[in-house]
Amino acid sequence: MSVQTTPLAPLPDELDSPRAKLVYLSLATTGGATLDELQTGLDLPKITLYTIIRTLRERGLVRQDGEALMLAA
């Protein structure tokens, strides 16, 4: 049995936090998620996610569309 995988683009150099990398990769593989979905899927506290998402948005790596968070194009 063979498993197909989709290659991901390399992580941005400005991601130095392991948790930020985890959130970025989660959004990259799922195509987007709400804060609640990230909290459940990654088992991270919301306060931690708020900080990470704010940083990713400030760096232009993540955008928000309604409640959905996704990688910036």
Residue 10: what pLDDT? Answer: 81
What are the chain's domains?
18-71 (1.10.10.10)
For 17-73, give the DSSP string. SHHHHHHHHHHHHHS-B-HHHHHHHHT--HHHHHHHHHHHHHTTSEEEETTEEEE--
The model's pTM = 0.85
Give 1-40 pLDDT, tens digit per residue: 666 666 666 888 889 899 999 999 999 999 999 999 999 9
